[in-house]
Structure 1
Amino acid sequence: MARPGFRGHPAGPLLLLLLLPQALTEGPLVFVAVVFRHGDRAPLASYPTDPHKEDVATLWPRGLGQLTGEGVRQQLELGRFLRSRYAMFLSPQYHREEVYIRSTDFDRTLESAQANLAGLFPEASPGRSEATWRPIPVHTEPVTEDKLLRFPTRSCPRYRELLKEATEAAEYQAALEGWKDFLTRLENFTGLSLVGEPLRKTWKVLDTLICQQAHGLPLPSWASPDVLQTLAQISALDIGAHVGPPRAAEKAQLTGGILLDAILANFSRVQRLGLPLKMVMYSAHDSTLLALQGALGLYDGHTPPYAACLGFEFRRHLGDPDEDAGNVTVSLFYRNDSTGLPLTLKLPGCPAPCSLGRFRQLTAPARPPAQGIPCHGSHEPATPAATVVPLLSGAVAVLAVLSMGLGLMAWRPSCLRAWGGPV
């Protein structure tokens, strides 16, 4: 049975199939993008009555929110999975022309990226001799400037409007009313003010309890399995309001659609200019994956576990060319449990693998419009789309472009900030 915080969740209502061996009719792999959550970490915070709050420095010597030894192991394991999966696609050693790694500017995601790369490339692996060990660069953006892997709530007026519409809906309010007595009891147990507050405060209680339980710490007597399950249901309601209906596509344009658009833009430019780039890796948070799942129409009510990985595989299709996108297909996989095979995600409305043209068509409503993102209020003009750093031809220019632009190819209105803080 999966340990809380360490393994995956059941697939739920997603249209999922066990990943079959790669079929020859799919053709050769030409590009991969993977987005993964950081590994196991310490709790982000405590609460006033937490029985372990006085022992934080002993229990979490690197600090709250920091990657743990288990988190490092999980990312090493994920990197080794990627090495096994792409052994015939990637070079045996790291080449900067082939792989680009981007992380949010948090210790836990930067360290997760490094641990993942240590599993993916032998020269970065633990135990190498000093003479042969080589670190691999990980690129990042300052937290306040990262518009690709962090998403808005408070600082985007239009997003606040959409979220308010979702939280004022009758179904949402009915669920809140049903949990009012539960939240009142939880206030007494935790010493926090929860009734009438944003549900994220309730989620933080759940996160602290799950982190402590996963590391073998005894929970207070009130934190029964039923309480944890109810907290998970409340968290799912909150996430659904952020990434689901009403107006899920418009929310996605301000969140996961930005990253989805960047992945498609990166592939198109690499192919058009004949660049040697084969893989882009993004080390981020569960909020990043949830927003991306929402943009794809694949959010199933479960939070991605530590080291969960969502992959996009672009292949040359051996059949008739697609009218809009040539002979390329897109396949999605989701690895949310290291004990089994990854899952194939089926984009709603398209068989797996999905032709690139159809994939673009189906996801267009969730990706930023050409005229810019409407981050301002509904009566204000949309923020103009930022100019994308142009890709230059020539071997010397490739790496400069990668460091300046790849992973940043997305609409970047200045009002975008973090979606409630990544976890």
Structure 2
Amino acid sequence: MGILGVVILARHGDREEFFQDPYSYETAHTTLTPLGEAQEVQLGSFLRSQYLNPDSPQFINGISTDIAKDLQLLVRADNGAESGVIADSAVALLQGLYPPTPRSAAKLANGTTIVGPFGGYQYIPIETVEPEQSIDLEGWTECPAFREHIQRFYDSPQFKKKAQESGRFLDELKPYLFGRSNNLENMWNIFDFINVNYIHNETFAFRLPPTFLEQARALANFHELGVFTDKETDGIGNVAGRTILPSITGALERIANPNDPLSLVLEEISYKPFLSLFNITGIHAKYPDLQGIPEYASAIALELRNNDEGETYLRTKFKNGTTDSDFRTLHLFGHKEDIALNEFVYRMNLAAIDGNQKWCGVCNQRTTRGCSICTDDVKGHPVPHVPTIESGTDKPWAPLLGAQNLPFFALFAFILAFFGVFKLYKSRRPRLQGYDPIPTAATYYDVPVSYPSMYKQGY
């Protein structure tokens, strides 16, 4: 039967050590490793077997299987925190999703056929999302309210109790940290250092006691869940998930639109949105074993399907890294089956942070990430009035436009029209020859667009 399309959220692959400030989550430089590249290619190949294989029950109806069609795909990657690791992971994943093929070729006028480089490598566009330009994939950085949330977590009785319980283990761990702080506030960095070296440093892996890595992982899970979740669905602790929600629901609505060729959306992200989204949708409550940091190259798949009555439903699946051989179906919000798309969108909109202006208010941010030009919702006073041509006021010639001068202007216009020199032109924006205007959000969401049928047929 196949499906309408899918939105995929994928975590990046293995990388070098990645330091994050425990109080602000500002980051240091890191790099994707060859292992990480291989993990992402493997994930891409798995997704190809699920969604681009005509024999798969999850085959996306009408999608091009061998040659990537730009109108059918939308790929976005966080290009902030992890120094290009996430964007590079997206490139690697796409190599597995749409591998090189000799069909990626062009026949020239002289009869010569040219196959793309590297045996037909396919260059699929990736939108790199910069934190300074969009809050979508990294809503937690430079957010004062989120920093306050982190501090409240560190000051909570729950955290202090855990710090006391883990004190002995953290002291035993100190010789393996090479001068790094061993307090619970620094637990993410402790775990990341141990995990990276356990994978890449043979001597370190040999010396580390058998249970230390898993104990550190458990404490890191406790730490990151406390930071990137919240008791309230619309709480600031869920900000990493709340800011990505509009792009998810928007993509699903586009896929559900039969006039839109979009069929597969990939958003390459860090682990933080996973934690928040699992909390918002009730996955953590229903599946306690998923209450932790997802593995490298993990993926959430949101599959759109039609039932026998023609209603559109959403099926959620999760694959925890490359060690999982297949997807695992998850049920959202306590449901025991697929959820209607309308219900999913409605519930998500209740928690979503849609746009910079709302983010500035939620985060109590007044200066960075575009908040300095927000309205009085953030600044506390209205945006200064900027005179415009259309307003007809605040100009030295405004008095000339008064009612007492209208008869004069009417007579002058009549004289010009009489001599054939006065023409009224329909307003039109200037346009360079051969160039189309840049599409806006309305192009995709508000204005019905008709596309050639071949894009839905996979030609």
TM over 0.5: yes
CA distance in 2, matches of 1:40, 1:193: 22
Per-residue CA deviations over 1:55-97 (Å, capped at 9, x if unaligned) read xxxxxxxx97322222222111111111111124220210110
Per-residue CA deviations over 1:386-407 (Å, capped at 9, x if unaligned) read xxxxxxxxxx9899458x989x
Aligned residue number for residue 232 of structure 1: 217
Per-residue CA deviations over 1:83-128 (Å, capped at 9, x if unaligned) read 1111242202101100011112243222211111111113379997
Question: Is the 1:252–1:294 contact (alpha carbons within 8 Å) kept by the matching residues of 2?
Answer: no
Question: Is the 1:41–1:108 contact (alpha carbons within 8 Å) kept by the matching residues of 2?
Answer: yes
User: Does the residue aligned with 1:34 lie in a helix, a strand or coil?
Assistant: strand
Q: Does 1:209 align with 2:194?
A: yes
Per-residue CA deviations over 1:114-158 (Å, capped at 9, x if unaligned) read 1111111133799975573332221113343341111315x2222
Aligned residues: 343
CA distance in 1, matches of 2:303, 2:235: 25
What is the identity, as a one-letter code, of the residue corresponding to 1:149?
L
CA distance in 2, matches of 1:273, 1:397: 24
Per-residue CA deviations over 1:158-193 (Å, capped at 9, x if unaligned) read 223333333333222211122234334444553546
CA distance in 1, matches of 2:187, 2:237: 24
Q: Does 1:123 align with 2:115?
A: no
Change (3 A) 1:268 1:383: farther
Q: CA RMSD in A?
A: 3.7
Aligned residue number for residue 242 of structure 1: 227
Q: Does 1:113 align with 2:79?
A: no
Aligned residue number for residue 75 of structure 2: 101
Question: Is the 1:35–1:281 contact (alpha carbons within 8 Å) kept by the matching residues of 2?
Answer: yes
Change (3 A) 1:136 1:265: closer
User: Does the residue aligned with 2:305 lie in a helix, a strand or coil?
Assistant: strand
List aligned pairs for 1:258-407, cutoff 5 A: 258-269=243-254, 271-272=256-257, 274-299=259-284, 300-319=290-309, 327-338=311-322, 339-368=324-353, 372-373=358-359, 374-377=361-364, 400-401=439-440
What is the identity, as a one-letter code, of the residue corresponding to 1:342?
F
What is the identity, as a one-letter code, of the residue corresponding to 1:314?
L
CA distance in 1, matches of 2:335, 2:313: 11
Per-residue CA deviations over 1:330-378 (Å, capped at 9, x if unaligned) read 1111111445221111113223211123323444443237993442459
Query: How far off its partner does 1:254 sit?
Result: 2.3
TM-score (norm 2): 0.65
Q: Which runs of 5+ in 1 are unaligned?
A: 1-23, 47-62, 322-326, 385-395, 407-423
CA distance in 1, matches of 2:333, 2:197: 37
Question: Is the 1:250–1:365 contact (alpha carbons within 8 Å) kept by the matching residues of 2?
Answer: no
Change (3 A) 1:360 1:130: closer
Query: How far off its partner does 1:34 sit?
Result: 0.5
Q: 1:159 aligns with which of 146, 151, 165?
A: 146
Report the structure number with the largest CA radius of gyration. 2
Question: Is the 2:299–2:321 contact (alpha carbons within 8 Å) kept by the matching residues of 1?
Answer: no
Question: Is the 1:159–1:375 contact (alpha carbons within 8 Å) kept by the matching residues of 2?
Answer: no
Aligned residue number for residue 64 of structure 2: 91
* Greater helix fraction, Structure 1 or Structure 2: 2
Query: How far off its partner does 1:382 sit?
Result: 5.6
Per-residue CA deviations over 1:241-292 (Å, capped at 9, x if unaligned) read 1233433531365220221232112222454582111111111212232233
Question: Is the 1:124–1:136 contact (alpha carbons within 8 Å) kept by the matching residues of 2?
Answer: no
List aligned pairs for 1:405-420, cutoff 5 A: none
CA distance in 1, matches of 2:281, 2:135: 19
What is the identity, as a one-letter code, of the residue corresponding to 1:82?
L
CA distance in 1, matches of 2:305, 2:217: 37
TM-score (norm 1): 0.70
Change (3 A) 1:331 1:131: closer
Q: Which runs of 5+ in 2 are unaligned?
A: 21-27, 55-59, 105-114, 285-289, 366-375, 380-434, 446-459
User: Does the residue aligned with 2:303 lie in a helix, a strand or coil?
Assistant: strand
Query: How far off its partner does 1:383 sit?
Result: 5.2
Question: Is the 2:76–2:267 contact (alpha carbons within 8 Å) kept by the matching residues of 1?
Answer: yes
Greater Cα shift, 68-77 or 184-193? 184-193
What is the identity, as a one-letter code, of the residue corresponding to 1:103?
A
Query: How far off its partner does 1:211 sit?
Result: 1.9
Change (3 A) 1:82 1:401: farther
Change (3 A) 1:183 1:122: closer
CA distance in 2, matches of 1:31, 1:207: 35
Between the aligned residues of both structures, percent identity stands at: 20
What is the identity, as a one-letter code, of the residue corresponding to 2:331?
K
What is the identity, as a one-letter code, of the residue corresponding to 2:140?
P
Aligned residue number for residue 68 of structure 1: 33
- Higher-RCO chain (CA-CA 8 Å, sequence separation at least 6): 1
What is the identity, as a one-letter code, of the residue corresponding to 1:305?
E
CA distance in 2, matches of 1:361, 1:244: 20
Change (3 A) 1:354 1:397: farther
Question: Is the 2:294–2:321 contact (alpha carbons within 8 Å) kept by the matching residues of 1?
Answer: no
